[in-house]
């Protein structure tokens, strides 16, 4: 299709790491603005709007032919969709209790685990210990809300699964079909949670407009560029580039939400980022997931 070919050519002009960095900036700005909807829609209602709008946009762009894919490919899309849904729900639940920068730092253990799982150097233990120390400081010493820490860690587990499944989706589906189908499937389990949290406010035009903007920033842009990037990157390398997430999240939280961080929080986040940089320099990367 002409639209699909045009989009692919634009992505092809950008190096894969550049696509990942663009996605990082977009998703963190979107997350910061999403928290502004929590008072009216709650975390689950906000996630429902984000994923639903993203699904509609991606379906309109890709127009996937569902019947042209095999049952195994549809199951893969369903797994990807469920992963997206609960990763986002867990993360927004975390944001309802702790600062954006802290939530992303804890969540980042998921991608870091993907990196460390693919390496065999003697320094692996050091990076793991540094990352764990950072999270202990954030969750245990700095006094971060325990509920928020739990949901951020849960989101991290789904994030690790997202990286691995996303790599398979990028190879199994053409263009943006896999992402569009997965996002559509991901709406379904979010409906009861979203209605319970948001109720009739889900139909408010002003809230819908903000939800649409959040969907574009937090889902359409980052997931689209990440699918393209993972066609050219190993999952481990993708996880490495995610080392920018905590710093970008802290910056977005400061600029958009005026969220300040204590010196201890900054040190803790620095430990996690240092662990990622260390893994970056020494990782050999796993074989691509088939």
* Spatial separation of the C-alpha atoms in residues 142 and 255, rounded to whole Å: 22
Between the two ends of the chain, the Cα-to-Cα distance in Å is 27
Please spell the DSSP secondary structure of 41-80, one letter per residue.
HHHHHHHHHHHHHHHHHHHHHH---GGGS-HHHHHHHHHH
Kindly report, residue by residue over 76-111, the tens digit of the pLDDT: 999 999 999 999 999 999 999 988 888 888 887 787
With 50 as the cut, is the pLDDT of residue 2 above it?
no
Residue 214 lies in a domain: yes
Among the ranges given (118-122, 157-161, 206-210), the one the predictor scored with the smallest mean pLDDT: 118-122
What crossing angle do the helices spanning 205-215 and 16-34 adopt, rounded to 10°? 160
Residue 141 lies in a domain: yes
Residue 4 lies in a domain: no
Could you tell me the pLDDT band of residue 122, with boundaries at 50, 70 and 90?
low
Range of the domain at 91: 15-282
**pLDDT the model gives residue 282:** 52
**Which residues lie closer than 8 Å to 260 by C-beta, 6 or more apart?**
254
**pLDDT the model gives residue 284:** 44
Residue 7 lies in a domain: no
* Spatial separation of the C-alpha atoms in residues 290 and 274, rounded to whole Å: 30
Closest CA to 139 of 28, 265, 266: 265
With 90 as the cut, is the pLDDT of residue 49 above it?
yes
Closest CA to 179 of 59, 31, 16: 59
Structure tokens given for 48: 């429902």
DSSP 35: G
Residue 1 lies in a domain: no
Q: Could you give the 3-state DSSP secondary structure of residue 204?
A: coil
Residue 102 lies in a domain: yes
With 60 as the cut, is the pLDDT of residue 136 above it?
yes
| Percent over 70 (pLDDT), the chain | 81
* Spatial separation of the C-alpha atoms in residues 123 and 125, rounded to whole Å: 5
With 70 as the cut, is the pLDDT of residue 69 above it?
yes
Provide the 10 A C-beta neighbour count for residue 221: 19
To the nearest whole number, what is the mean pLDDT of the chain?
Answer: 81
**pLDDT the model gives residue 236:** 61
Kindly report, residue by residue over 219-257, the tens digit of the pLDDT: 888 877 877 787 777 766 666 676 677 777 877 888 788
Provide the 10 A C-beta neighbour count for residue 136: 13
DSSP 173: S
With 0-12 / 13-18 / 19 or more C-beta atoms within 10 angstroms meaning exposed / middle / buried, residue 160 is buried
**pLDDT the model gives residue 239:** 61
Query: Residue 132 belongs to what H/E stretch?
Result: helix 124-136
Kindly report, residue by residue over 181-227, the tens digit of the pLDDT: 999 999 999 999 999 999 999 999 999 999 999 999 988 888 778 77
Domain total for the chain? 1
Residue 8 lies in a domain: no
Residue 5 lies in a domain: no
| Percent over 90 (pLDDT), the chain | 33
Cα angle 262, 93, 20 (rounded to 5 degrees) comes to: 75
Could you tell me the pLDDT band of residue 117, with boundaries at 50, 70 and 90?
confident
The stretch 109-119 carries a mean pLDDT of 73
Kindly report, residue by residue over 259-271, the tens digit of the pLDDT: 777 777 778 778 7
Structure tokens given for 282: 């020494």
pTM of the model: 0.78
């Amino acid at each position: 299709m002409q639209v699909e070919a045009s989009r692919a050519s634009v992505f092809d002009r950008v190096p894969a790491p550049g696509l990942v960095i663009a996605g990082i900036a977009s998703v963190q700005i979107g997350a910061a603005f999403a928290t502004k909807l929590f008072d009216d829609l709650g975390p689950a209602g906000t996630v429902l709007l984000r994923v639903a709008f993203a699904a509609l946009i991606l379906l309109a762009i890709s127009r996937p032919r569902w019947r042209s894919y095999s049952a195994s490919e549809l199951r893969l899309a369903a797994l990807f969709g469920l992963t997206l849904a609960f990763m986002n729900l867990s993360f927004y639940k975390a944001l309802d209790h702790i600062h954006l920068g802290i939530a992303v730092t804890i969540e980042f253990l998921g991608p870091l685990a993907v990196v460390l799982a693919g390496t065999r150097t003697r320094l692996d233990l050091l990076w793991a210990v540094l990352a764990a120390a950072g999270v202990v400081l954030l969750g245990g010493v700095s006094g971060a809300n325990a509920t928020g820490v739990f949901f951020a860690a849960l989101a991290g587990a789904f994030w690790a699964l997202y990286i691995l499944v996303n790599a398979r989706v990028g190879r199994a589906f053409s263009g943006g079909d896999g992402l569009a189908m997965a996002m559509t499937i991901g709406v379904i389990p979010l409906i009861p949670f979203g209605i319970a949290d948001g109720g009739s406010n889900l139909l408010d035009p002003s809230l819908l407009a903000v939800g649409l903007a959040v969907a574009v920033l937090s889902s359409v842009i980052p997931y689209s560029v990440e699918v393209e990037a993972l066609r050219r990157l190993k999952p481990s390398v993708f996880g490495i580039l995610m080392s920018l997430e905590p710093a970008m999240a802290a910056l977005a939280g400061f600029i958009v939400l005026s969220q300040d961080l204590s010196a201890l929080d900054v040190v803790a986040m620095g430990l996690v980022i240092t662990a990622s940089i260390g893994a970056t320099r020494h990782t050999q990367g796993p074989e691509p997931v088939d």
